[in-house]
């Protein structure tokens, strides 16, 4: 199968990305017809995966990959088993039709090429998620789906609602992704493996470990946010701001199932424990109920579908959580069914929207004449969604009831009840979406209703028919897709035998009938139910969606508050904090080691030495006390002078020399500058501030002095100086060791030092010379145009 | 000797910190000038002290006289003096220009870069 | 130009003095450096005239040193005395010398000698204002200066 | 400042001080001194001249813009380390030649070149600062 | 130690003590002022004392290299005084309130002493 | 011979120190800045000059002597100039001489010029 | 007398083997930038030639740094003792992988900024030293990275600092002077603390050579002096690196200069601080580091969180980016706190990433400012239509800075999270992830305001009132000078994200060298001991 040494699977993964790059160019040339060309890519990928079906159903697994980052054990590796094959086929197969549908839906849109690009990018990322074997690779594709989803949701970017939905999706799924990252990293750390396939082979190693719960929670954090589980469900309905192809593809058929995929993938490691079977059904069930209840409440068809998607995802999570073989089978079947019917229904709603200009279910009716094809496929798809035979949805529902109805435990009863209520409500929505707009009296719509182009109906047609065919050929479907995938999830071979017609009249059939009856009852009382739910929601008055806004605003406000406290803008405060930190920095080690330097008897200084110290101190005090800047400058001279003399007393003539020069020049420059500076004698500080500053000054001086004392009381290593003394004259031909150090032993220091001096000169020149920015700039900009250097102002005299 | 000088250096540091903590720009600059001296003395003392004999090799010798001062800290301090002098000159002129342009010598009133009324971050999308 | 050359020689000599070596090469180098130094101040020295009558300069110097010691002693006496009773004042000294160089020299000598200190020269360069630490009679002081320094400067430099 | 006394004496002082600064520069290797101190003395010289006679004469005296002198000094300082490349020794290794000129052995070395670079940098930069400040004052 | 050395040593010590006293006096003048020119004058004097001090140390240690330091101290001391003088002049010429107050204050102080 | 030189050095040194002290005393005892300048510019210069000379004699080395002399000359050249500059600036800006100053020709000159 | 002594002494004091020409690469970046800077100053009045001259030297700088990195990766630590004096007596430039990679990335950034500056800096800016400042800034930066001597490091820090002053005030506007004053004084304080610490360290162990310090510190008993010195280094370099709570200088100044200056600052300045922390705390004073690990971790966490919160609180994009620089520093500090090989590698990787991405962000922001006429997210809008390419580039950088794959920021984040989990610093991992999350939020907000929104905040929904100024209106030079640097940096961001193997190897090697400096020590001191 190798193609130039590269496995075709890698090409299949890469192909959408390549196509994404090409898309804008194609769209520029072919406009919406580029869809035909671009759809070939997913179609070919789909075709490629059909090649695996036989082998996979025979129980084979493939790990294919190439080294990516050997140093960090990251491989560009993929794992093909029943689970990934079905997902990959759904993604590529539905993807092909979505590309076509996009061409029709966004015909004439100026950014169509970009749209294709994003869709294909997403497709590639999603393929990556379900195929990836390496945990890091998996995560990367996971995050890429979040990113592309962000771009697609915000496609109508001028609308604030779109932008909000986009960033909301990014925040929730991206945030969840970060949690997942931690989980995956820990998983890899604990298992010692980087490849999912290798971890799966280790089987139950984690279930008794202390790491089990933390890692599980982290992974659930990723999965629940991505798959819109309550209470993170709110982003998904908002994501409906995206163009319909996006909703159909990302937010029902594929991306939102990534979380479910992940749960199914890690099921062998985490599944079938008490924790697993408690948490997942709990959240899944809650999501199912919340989703369906909120769906019923809507009148926007797209939103109705969106909420039922939430509900379906809840159902899938719930089933995965139950962990029994039947439940897993049910989950797989329902996943397949849902992808087909929901993708189709979204496209149908899009077509209605496209054809009539509205999506409000109360504002359309009797469209079947105008849109016969659309109606047909809508009918087929919703039949499946309603769970009625002979659609795949029916089989799925039967199996899932088998899975839930293990009536040995009370909580399974509860779960089943939830499933029944949920399914009944989905039945209601299915009919509300499929029949209400098409049947009944014709209602005037913003646009005159018309059938869509083939680009628009091909997708619904294919998906809904697929649903039908899959159900009719139930056995084959089961053999080729359901059993391999369920086996992969269970991590051991299952024997599945699917039939369209139930072989035995058992509890599931009864439950199905209950579901339908309940559904019909609710459908007939839809308006009342809607009002009831609306009333309840109004009385609650809050939901996670508002919570999101509040959280974001809260974060921003908190940030502004904290930042205002930290970066408060007053220089004096900045300095105070800095000095306080310095004092602490020095005090703590002294205190922690409890090593205070010893104070010897009075140091033996000569009288004149004392007097020079005294002069230094008097100079300092004079600077501190100076009534005004002038006096301070002169006093500054005293201490500098004293320091120079100190250097001289301790055998440092070069230093003394330099200190005299530098001090004098400092004072001179200070005087030059001061001529124009206002020298108000005030010290702006309040008394309390002065006390604080004085405290900091005294403690700061003390800790520095003490540290220095402590340092100098350690035996000194004068190796370096001995070396310098020894070779200064002999090799470096200089008798002044200090100067030899400066220009030879440590000449590079001096090189840097003169760089400092040079730059200082230039910087000061810039400071002084660039005076009126506006005027000068205008002048020079003009000069730029005519390409002649402007004459030097002022300094031109010299040259 | 080092102990005695350490005390003096501590006083230098204390004075300079007190000045640097001022609001008046010129006092801050004075503090900076003094802290430069304090640090130089600190490095000088760190290399241990000896009296009066400079590290200069007499004409008829190959090495400096016994008990001569440690030359390395002197070289370090020289470099540091030059650098701190440069920085001081720059800071001085900068302070002067800031005073000219901003019309105040109180650093707490220099609030152009970080105005007191920071705009609130937008809350929409 | 010869004036400049002379100053250059003077600077060369100063170089020799400062470096403590009057070897040929050092003096040659000193000459070059002196030339460089002159080059830097070429504008300012362009019009000035060269020195002559070296011996009179020496005499002037000797007098000056003597006066300096005298003046220091006088200050000492004033400062040490338990009570200081002085009649300071600023007097206007009419200048005879009129060249920049001579005025400068005179003013400096006045400053370094007893009881007097040059404060300012009037814009028309005709008057030197001298602060005297104790000046019971201004005219006497003026005469003193005129007879000692100004005369000798005139002798030395004209 | 408009006092003839200073104006008259300043140029001579300047010339003397520049001379002294070169002296200090050249003997730095053996006695206290060197490029930096020498440079500072020269700066003081130009500062005195500037205060006495004004900024323009100093600028004219220096011919080149002081910053350019400074930059040249830096260039020279860095350049002084390069000849050692050709001697296959590390950067800034001191290389000495002692030609005999007029019977006197003269030590010439890359550290000396480097020290002259230091001198020029200091002279250039600090003079530039002083002159720029002085200029502002007189405007 | 020869007599000469002992003598010099004693003289150096005496001179250093005298200079130390002078230092203190000068510093007192700098601190008490009262006028800016007073302070500058005292600073100038301090430089002169410093030169003497360096010379004394030179004699004490037999290191004549201190001479150059003394000379350059003289040079820059001159520069400092020139700069300060110019500074006083400029401040005065821009009619700085501070200086006028400073001058008046000094005059009053003297007036009080009479 | 050496001892004689040493004695001279010691005496010159002390002489210089004493003159420096006198200058300092003048600084503290005299009444106004102009009078203090007398002390500083004369006794001060002489004091430091003498001490430099002491160093030169002590060294008894040509290069040191010539340098010391050059230094002294330089002080003699600059000290009066700085005194002049300081006095002039102080006066022009308005630092009045003390009230004992009976004669003030400069004041008259300046007021003449003004009118 | 001197002759034979000299011959004897040379053997004991100096390196006697001839120096291979390739070793000159360790000093070449400094020579190139210094001479280039000097040349630019000498020709500064010919403003029209300034960019050309600088460009030659900047290109040479990149070239020598590439050569240096390959030399180092091939032959290990490269040492040159300046002036031939044996280490630890002379100044040794000792370049390991850490130094070489940082130096290279920094020089690439400088190259980009130099190019961008052709258009962004006017004639006045050129005349008063933009290019010399930039080149000498690079002297400081490369010198800091390459030197093996702690005091010499201080000197290069100062070169860097003073050059940054020059760049900061180029323009002399009120806001610049205000920002520069705070920047200058606070940074001056930091370098002063550095100098104090170095002085004390010298007093304690009597040496300045880093390899020698690493050796001698081990022989020293733990005690207050060493503890104080270590803490002081942490404070000084932490301040340079803009760690909480001593990072006031950064938000006070980064938004004030020209955008190209902000760009180079954001890329380089703080990272030099991080580098110095790595060198001193991780390599030289490992005991002190591990004693303070908890404190560093707390600082790291607070820094990253306050940083990103600062970014969230801003309306000016430049300010927000400044805070993001801080936030990134927190992550780098986290790696240092954890201190394992992979954590340090993460820090190093993060530093490389941060240099590139922050510079690129500022450069792109420059274009936003030019095209949108403002840096205020309340006033921006409609740029998506105005320049989709710009939108794309900025978005890539947003994702990169948030640590999202497949861009350069992802890998260091993964490494750091992984190492903190492994070392049971769970809270640090949480903080890193939370910071990534908040960063996404903050840059995502900026992006949607500036690009997606149709017009300024006041404009009605779905409108298209965004003000778009064509680049040609604000430009006199070629647009390529703006786009090429951005394109180069963004492609680096992508390449490092997609093909990080080389970088992993380099930072891995760098981290190993820092944690176990024995190879470094033997290379530097080998001749002497
Ligand atoms: Na001074
Ligand atoms: Na030197």
pLDDT tens-digit readout, A713-753: 888 888 888 899 988 888 888 888 998 999 889 999 999 99
Partnered with residue B56 across adjacent β-strands are A736
Residue D139 exposed, middle or buried by CB count within 10 Å (0-12, 13-18, 19+): exposed
Q: Which residue has the tokens 């070596």?
A: C21
Give SS3 for D108.
Answer: strand
Chain A residues lying within 8 Å of E20, measured CB to CB: 607-608, 611-612
**Mean pLDDT score, G268-289:** 94
Note the pLDDT of residue E113. 39
CA A46 to CA E19: how far, in whole Å? 101
Tokens of E30: 């700098």
Sign of CA dihedral B16, B17, B18, B23: positive
Instruction: Report pLDDT digits (tens) over A407-423.
Output: 567 777 888 889 999 99
Between E7, E51, E82, which is nearest F85 by CB? E82
Instruction: Label residue C43 by pLDDT band (50, 70, 90).
Output: low
**Neighbours, chain F (3 or more CB pairs < 8 A):** C, D, E
Q: Which residues of A touch E79 (CB under 8 A)?
A: 664-665, 668
Per-residue model confidence (pLDDT) at position C81 = 84
Cis before residue A552, ω within 30 degrees of 0? no
Q: Mean per-residue pLDDT for C23-29?
A: 72
What distance in Å separates residue C14's CA from the closest CA in chain D?
8
**Average pLDDT, whole number, for chain A?**
87
Which helix H or strand E contains A450, and what residues bound it? none
Q: What is the pLDDT of residues A365-380, one digit of tens each?
A: 888 888 888 899 999 9
- Tokens in use for A682? 């005030």
Residue E34 has pLDDT above 60, yes or no: yes
What is the pLDDT at residue E107?
55
* Residues forming beta bridges with residue C92, ordered by sequence position: C129
Render pLDDT for D83-95 as a digit per residue (tens, 0 to 9).
Answer: 989 888 889 888 8
- Which of A428-432, D4-8, D25-29, F11-15 holds the top average pLDDT? F11-15
Residues of chain C above pLDDT 90, percent: 0
**A686 SS3 class:** coil
Q: Does A600 touch chain B (CB under 8 A)?
A: yes
Closest C-alpha among C105, C101, C112 to residue C66 = C112
- Percent of chain E at pLDDT > 90 equals 18
Which position has the higher pLDDT, A127 or G458?
Answer: A127
Q: Is the dihedral of CA A144, A146, A148, A150 positive or negative?
A: negative
Weakest-pLDDT range from A187-201, C79-93, E95-109, G429-443: E95-109
- Across chain G, mean pLDDT equals 92
Mean pLDDT computed over every residue of chain C: 77
| Separation of alpha carbons G267 and E71, rounded Å | 49
Q: Please report which confidence band the pLDDT of residue A783 belongs to, taking 50, 70 and 90 as the band edges.
A: very low
What is the chain A residue with the closest CA to G233? Answer: A585
Q: Residue A388's pLDDT band (boundaries 50, 70, 90)?
A: confident
Q: pLDDT digits over A42-75, tens only?
A: 999 999 999 999 999 988 899 998 999 999 989 9
d(C-alpha C136, C-alpha C114), whole Å: 14
C32 — phi, psi (to 5°)?
-60, -45
Instruction: Answer whether residue G528 shows pLDDT above 90.
Output: no
* pTM, entire model: 0.93
Q: Is G181 on the interface with A (CB under 8 A)?
A: yes
Print the SS3 string covering D43-82: HHHHHHHHHHHCHHHHHHHHCCCHHHHHHHHHHHHHHCCC
pLDDT tier, D26 (very low <50, low <70, confident <90, very high otherwise): confident
- For chain A, how are helix, strand and coil distributed in percent, rounded to 5? 75, 5, 20
Q: What crossing angle do the helices spanning A507-524 and A526-540 adopt, rounded to 10°?
A: 80
Instruction: Please give the pLDDT value at position E75.
Output: 86
For G441-471, the pLDDT digits (tens) are 999 999 999 999 988 888 888 887 777 888 8
- Taking the CA of residue C55 and the nearest CA in chain D, the distance in Å comes to 21
Give yes or no for residue C52 having a pLDDT over 80. no
pLDDT of residue A791: 35
ipTM of this predicted complex?
Answer: 0.94
Examine the pLDDT at A89 and tell me if it is beyond 80: yes
Tokens of E42: 């005292």
Tell me the pLDDT tens digit for each residue of A623-653: 888 877 777 888 888 899 899 999 988 989 8
**Model confidence over B7-47: pLDDT tens digits?**
999 999 999 999 999 988 888 999 999 999 999 999 999 99
Contact D53, D11 (CB under 8 A): yes
CA A217-A223-A227 angle, to 5 degrees, is: 140
User: Residue range A220-237: average pLDDT?
Assistant: 93
Q: Does B20 touch chain G (CB under 8 A)?
A: yes
Q: Are C104 and D8 in contact (CB under 8 A)?
A: yes
Beta strands F103-104; C89-94: pairing state: parallel
Confirm if C72 and C105 have CB atoms less than 8 A apart: no
Alpha-carbon distances, residue A782 vs A774, G52, G114, G129, G475 (angstroms): 12, 20, 22, 20, 12
Among A378-392, C48-62, G332-346, top mean pLDDT goes to G332-346
d(C-alpha C145, C-alpha C132), whole Å: 12
Ligand closest to Cα of A660 equals 1
A496 pLDDT tier (thresholds 50, 70, 90)? confident
Chain D residue numbers touching C118 (CB-CB < 8 A): 5
Predicted pLDDT of residue C6: 65
Asked if residue E61 has pLDDT above 90, the reply is no
Q: How far apart are CA G312 and CA G327, in angstroms?
A: 11
When pLDDT is cut at 50, 70 and 90, the band that residue E112 belongs to is very low
pLDDT band at G222 (very low <50, low <70, confident <90, very high): confident
Ligand 1 center–CA A618 separation, angstroms: 15
pLDDT at F41 over 90: no
pLDDT, one tens digit per residue, over G144-198 is 999 999 999 999 999 999 999 999 999 888 899 999 999 999 999 999 999 999 9
**C108–F84: do the CB atoms touch at under 8 Å?**
yes
**E78 shares contact with chain B (CB less than 8 Å):** no
**Which residues, including other chains, have CB under 8 Å from residue F29's CB and lie 6 or more apart?**
C79, C84
Across A320-334, F61-75, G83-97, least confident range: F61-75
Stretch A463-475: mean pLDDT: 91
pLDDT over 70 (residue C131): yes
Cβ(A134)–Cβ(A65) under 8 Å?
Answer: yes
Ion ligand 1, residues whose Cβ is below 5 A away: A 637, 640-641, 663-664
Give the residue, B111 or B17, on which the prediction is more confident. B17
Answer whether residue A582 shows pLDDT above 80.
yes
**pLDDT tens profile A239-295:** 999 999 999 998 888 889 999 999 999 999 998 899 999 999 999 999 999 999 899
Percent of chain A at pLDDT above 70?
94
Q: Which of G174, G309, G441, G449 to mutate to test the interface with B (most CBs of B within 10 A)?
A: G174
Cβ atoms within 10 Å of G455's Cβ, excluding its own: 19
pLDDT category of residue A794 using cuts at 50, 70 and 90: very low
Which residue has tokens 């497709």?
A: A123
Ligand 1 mean position, distance from CA E57 (Å): 19
- Give the residue-averaged pLDDT of A452-474: 90
Per-residue pLDDT tens over the stretch A563-572? 999 999 899 9
């Amino acid at each position: 199968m190798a193609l130039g040494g590269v496995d075709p699977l890698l090409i299949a993964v890469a192909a959408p990305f390549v196509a994404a790059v090409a898309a804008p160019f194609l769209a520029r040339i072919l406009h919406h017809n580029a869809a035909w060309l671009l759809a070939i890519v997913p179609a070919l990928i789909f075709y490629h995966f059909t090649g695996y079906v036989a082998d996979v159903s025979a129980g084979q697994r493939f790990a294919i990959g190439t080294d990516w980052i050997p140093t960090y054990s990251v491989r560009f590796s993929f794992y093909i088993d029943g689970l990934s094959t079905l997902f990959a086929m759904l993604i590529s197969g539905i993807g092909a039709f979505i590309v076509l549908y996009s061409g029709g839906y966004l015909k004439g849109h100026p950014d169509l090429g970009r749209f294709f690009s994003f869709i294909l990018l997403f497709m590639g990322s999603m393929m990556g998620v379900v195929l990836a074997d390496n945990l890091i690779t998996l995560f990367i594709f996971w995050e890429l789906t979040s990113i592309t989803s962000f771009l697609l949701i915000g496609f109508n970017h001028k609308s604030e609602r779109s932008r909000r939905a986009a960033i909301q999706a990014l925040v929730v799924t991206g945030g969840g992704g970060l949690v997942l990252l931690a989980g995956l990293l820990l998983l890899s750390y604990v298992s010692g493996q980087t490849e999912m396939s290798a971890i799966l082979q280790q089987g139950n190693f984690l279930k008794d470990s202390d790491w089990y719960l933390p890692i599980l929670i982290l992974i659930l954090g990723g999965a629940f946010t991505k798959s819109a589980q309550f209470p993170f469900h709110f982003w998904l309905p908002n994501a409906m701001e995206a163009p319909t192809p996006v909703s159909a593809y990302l937010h029902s058929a594929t991306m939102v199932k990534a979380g479910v995929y992940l749960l199914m993938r890690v099921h062998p490691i985490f599944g079938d424990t008490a924790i697993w079977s408690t948490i997942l059904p709990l959240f899944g069930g809650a999501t199912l109920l919340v989703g369906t209840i909120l769906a019923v409440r809507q009148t926007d068809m797209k939103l109705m579908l969106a909420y039922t998607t939430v509900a379906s995802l809840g159902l899938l999570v719930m089933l995965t959580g139950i962990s029994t073989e039947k439940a897993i089978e049910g989950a797989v079947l329902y996943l397949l069914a849902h992808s087909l019917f929901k993708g189709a229904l979204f496209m149908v709603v899009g077509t209605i929207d496209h054809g009539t200009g509205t999506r409000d279910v109360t504002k359309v009716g009797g469209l079947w004449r105008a849109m016969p094809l659309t109606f047909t496929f809508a009918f087929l798809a919703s039949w499946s969604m309603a769970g009625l035979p002979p659609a795949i949805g029916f089989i799925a529902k039967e199996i899932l009831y088998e899975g839930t109805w293990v009536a040995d435990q009370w909580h399974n009863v509860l779960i089943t009840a939830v499933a029944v209520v949920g399914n009944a409500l989905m039945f209601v929505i299915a009919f509300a979406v499929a029949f209400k707009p098409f049947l009944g009296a014709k209602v005037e719509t913003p646009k005159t209703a018309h059938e869509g182009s083939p680009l628009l109906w091909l997708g619904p047609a294919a998906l809904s028919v697929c649903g039908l065919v899959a159900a009719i050929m139930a056995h084959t479907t089961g053999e080729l897709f359901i059993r391999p995938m369920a086996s992969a999830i269970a991590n051991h071979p299952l024997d599945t035998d699917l039939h369209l017609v139930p072989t035995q009249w058992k509890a599931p059939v009864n439950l199905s009938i209950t579901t339908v009856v309940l559904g019909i009852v609710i459908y007939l009382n839809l308006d009342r139910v809607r009002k009831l739910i609306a009333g309840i929601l109004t009385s609650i008055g809050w939901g996670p969606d508002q919570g999101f806004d509040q959280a974001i605003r809260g974060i921003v406000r908190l940030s502004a508050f904290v930042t205002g406290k930290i970066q408060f803008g007053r220089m004096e405060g900045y300095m105070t904090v800095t000095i306080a930190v310095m004092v602490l920095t020095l005090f703590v080690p002294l205190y922690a080691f409890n090593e205070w330097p010893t104070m010897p008897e009075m140091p033996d200084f000569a009288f004149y030495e004392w007097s020079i110290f005294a002069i230094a101190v008097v100079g300092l005090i004079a600077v501190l006390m100076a009534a005004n800047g002038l006096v301070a400058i002169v006093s500054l001279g005293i201490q500098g002078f004293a320091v120079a003399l100190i250097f001289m007393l301790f055998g440092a003539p070069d230093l003394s020399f330099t200190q005299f020069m530098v001090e004098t020049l400092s004072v001179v420059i200070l005087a030059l500058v001061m001529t124009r500076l206002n020298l108000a004698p005030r010290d702006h500080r309040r008394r309390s501030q002065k006390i604080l500053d004085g405290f900091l000054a005294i403690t700061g001086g003390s800790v520095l002095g003490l540290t220095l004392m402590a340092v100098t009381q350690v035996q000194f290593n004068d190796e370096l100086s001995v070396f310098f003394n020894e070779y200064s004259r002999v090799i470096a031909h200089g008798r002044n060791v200090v100067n030899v150090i400066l220009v030879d032993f440590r000449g590079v220091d001096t090189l840097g030092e003169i760089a400092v001096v040079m730059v200082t000169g230039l910087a000061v020149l810039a400071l002084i010379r660039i005076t009126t920015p506006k005027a000068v700039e205008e002048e020079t900009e003009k000069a730029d145009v005519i390409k002649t250097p402007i004459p030097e102002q002022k300094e031109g005299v010299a040259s | 000797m080092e102990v005695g000088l350490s005390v003096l250096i501590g006083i230098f540091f204390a004075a300079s910190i007190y000045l640097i903590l001022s609001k008046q720009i010129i006092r801050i600059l004075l503090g900076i000038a003094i802290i430069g001296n304090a640090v130089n003395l600190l490095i000088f003392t760190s290399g241990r002290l000896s009296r009066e004999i400079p590290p200069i090799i007499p004409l008829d010798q190959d090495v400096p006289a016994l008990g001569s001062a440690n030359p390395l800290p002197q070289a370090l301090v020289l470099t540091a003096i030059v650098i701190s002098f440069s920085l001081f000159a720059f800071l001085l002129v900068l302070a002067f220009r800031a005073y000219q342009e901003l019309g105040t010598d109180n650093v707490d009133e220099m609030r152009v870069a970080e105005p007191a009324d920071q705009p609130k971050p937008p809350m929409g999308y | 130009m010869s004036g400049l050359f002379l100053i250059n020689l003077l600077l060369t000599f100063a170089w020799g003095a400062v470096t403590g070596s009057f070897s040929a090469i050092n003096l040659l180098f000193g000459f070059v450096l002196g030339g460089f130094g002159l080059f830097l101040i070429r504008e300012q020295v362009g019009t000035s005239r060269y020195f002559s009558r070296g011996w009179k300069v020496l005499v002037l110097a000797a007098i000056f040193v003597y006066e300096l010691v005298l003046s220091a002693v006088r200050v000492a006496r004033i400062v040490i005395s338990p009570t200081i009773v002085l009649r300071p004042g600023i007097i206007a000294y009419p200048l005879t010398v009129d060249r920049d160089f001579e005025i400068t020299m005179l003013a400096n000598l006045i400053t370094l000698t007893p009881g007097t200190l040059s404060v300012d020269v009037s814009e028309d360069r005709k008057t030197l204002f001298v602060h005297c630490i104790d000046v019971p009679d201004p005219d006497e002081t003026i005469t003193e200066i005129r007879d000692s320094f100004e005369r000798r400067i005139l002798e030395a430099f004209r | 400042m408009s006092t003839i006394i200073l104006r008259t004496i300043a140029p001579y002082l300047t010339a003397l001080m520049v001379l002294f600064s070169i002296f200090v520069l050249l003997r730095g290797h053996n006695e206290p001194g060197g490029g930096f101190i020498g440079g500072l003395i020269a700066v003081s010289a130009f500062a005195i001249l500037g205060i006495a006679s004004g900024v323009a004469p100093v600028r004219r005296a220096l011919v080149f813009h002081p910053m350019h002198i400074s930059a040249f000094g830096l260039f020279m300082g860095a350049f002084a380390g390069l000849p050692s490349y050709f001697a296959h020794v590390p950067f800034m290794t001191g290389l000495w030649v002692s030609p005999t000129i007029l019977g006197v052995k003269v030590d010439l070395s890359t550290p000396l070149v480097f020290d002259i670079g230091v001198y020029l940098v200091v002279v250039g930069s600090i003079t530039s600062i002083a002159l720029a400040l002085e200029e502002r004052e007189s405007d | 130690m020869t007599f000469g050395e002992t003598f010099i040593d004693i003289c150096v010590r005496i001179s250093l003590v005298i200079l130390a006293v002078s230092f203190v006096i000068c510093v007192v003048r700098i601190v008490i002022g009262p006028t800016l020119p007073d302070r500058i004058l005292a600073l100038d004097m301090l430089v002169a004392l410093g030169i003497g001090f360096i010379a004394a140390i030179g004699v004490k240690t037999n290191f004549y290299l201190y001479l150059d330091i003394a000379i350059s101290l003289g040079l820059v001391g001159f520069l400092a005084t020139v700069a300060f003088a110019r500074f006083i002049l400029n401040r005065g010429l821009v009619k700085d309130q501070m200086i006028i107050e400073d001058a008046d204050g000094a005059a009053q102080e003297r007036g009080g002493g009479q | 011979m050496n001892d004689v030189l040493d004695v001279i050095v010691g005496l010159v040194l002390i002489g210089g120190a004493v003159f420096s002290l006198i200058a300092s005393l003048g600084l503290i005892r005299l009444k106004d800045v102009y009078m203090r300048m007398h002390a500083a510019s004369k006794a001060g210069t002489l004091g430091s000059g003498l001490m430099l000379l002491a160093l030169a004699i002590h060294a008894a080395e040509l290069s040191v002597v010539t340098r010391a002399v050059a230094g002294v000359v330089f002080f003699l050249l600059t000290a009066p100039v700085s005194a002049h500059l300081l006095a002039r600036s102080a006066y022009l800006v308005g630092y009045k001489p003390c009230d004992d100053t009976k004669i003030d020709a400069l004041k008259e000159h300046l007021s003449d010029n003004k009118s | 007398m001197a002759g034979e002594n000299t011959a004897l002494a040379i053997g004991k004091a100096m390196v006697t083997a001839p120096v291979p020409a390739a070793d000159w690469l360790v000093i070449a970046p400094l020579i190139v930038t210094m001479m280039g800077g000097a040349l630019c100053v000498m020709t500064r009045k010919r403003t029209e030639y300034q960019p050309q001259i600088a460009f030659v030297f900047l290109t040479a700088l990149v070239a020598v740094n590439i050569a240096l990195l390959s030399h180092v990766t091939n032959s290990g630590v490269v040492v040159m003792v300046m002036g031939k004096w044996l280490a630890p007596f002379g100044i040794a430039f000792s370049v390991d992988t850490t130094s070489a990679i940082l130096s290279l990335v920094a020089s690439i950034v400088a190259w980009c900024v130099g190019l961008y500056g052709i258009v962004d800096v006017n004639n006045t800016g050129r005349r008063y030293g933009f290019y010399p400042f930039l080149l000498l800034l690079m002297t400081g930066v490369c010198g800091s990275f390459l030197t093996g001597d702690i005091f010499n490091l201080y000197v290069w820090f100062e070169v860097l600092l003073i050059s940054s002053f020059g760049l900061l005030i180029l323009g002399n506007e009120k806001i610049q002077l205000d920002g520069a004053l705070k920047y200058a004084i606070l940074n001056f304080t930091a370098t002063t603390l550095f100098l104090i610490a170095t002085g004390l360290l010298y007093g304690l162990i009597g040496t300045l050579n880093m390899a020698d310090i690493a050796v001698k510190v081990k022989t020293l008993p733990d005690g207050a002096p060493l503890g104080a010195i270590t803490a002081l280094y942490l404070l000084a370099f932490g301040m340079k690196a803009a760690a909480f709570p001593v990072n006031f200088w950064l938000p006070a100044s980064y938004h004030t200069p020209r955008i190209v200056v902000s760009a180079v600052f954001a890329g380089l300045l703080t990272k030099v601080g991080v580098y110095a922390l790595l060198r001193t705390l991780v390599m030289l004073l490992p005991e002190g580091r591990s004693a303070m690990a908890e404190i560093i971790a707390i600082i790291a966490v607070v820094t990253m969180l306050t940083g990103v919160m600062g970014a969230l609180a801003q309306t000016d994009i430049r300010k927000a980016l400044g805070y993001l620089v801080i936030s990134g520093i927190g992550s780098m500090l986290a790696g240092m706190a954890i201190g394992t090989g992979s954590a340090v590698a993460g820090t190093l990787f993060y530093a490389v990433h941060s240099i590139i991405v922050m510079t690129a962000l500022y450069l792109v922001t420059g274009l936003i400012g030019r095209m949108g006429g403002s840096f205020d997210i309340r006033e921006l809008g409609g740029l998506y239509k105005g320049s989709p390419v710009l939108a794309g580039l900025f978005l890539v950088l947003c994702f990169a800075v948030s640590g999202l794959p497949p861009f350069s920021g992802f890998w260091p984040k993964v490494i750091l999270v992984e190492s903190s989990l492994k070392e049971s610093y769970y809270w640090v991992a949480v903080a890193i992830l939370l910071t990534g999350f908040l960063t996404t939020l903050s840059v995502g907000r900026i992006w949607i305001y500036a690009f997606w929104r149709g017009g300024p905040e006041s404009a009605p929904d779905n409108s298209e009132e965004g003000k778009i100024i064509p680049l040609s209106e604000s430009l006199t030079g070629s647009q390529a000078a703006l786009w090429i640097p951005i394109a180069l940096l963004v492609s680096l961001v992508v390449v490092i994200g997609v093909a990080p193997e080389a970088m992993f190897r380099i930072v891995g090697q760098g981290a190993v060298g820092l944690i176990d400096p024995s190879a470094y020590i033997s290379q530097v001191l080998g001749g002497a001991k």
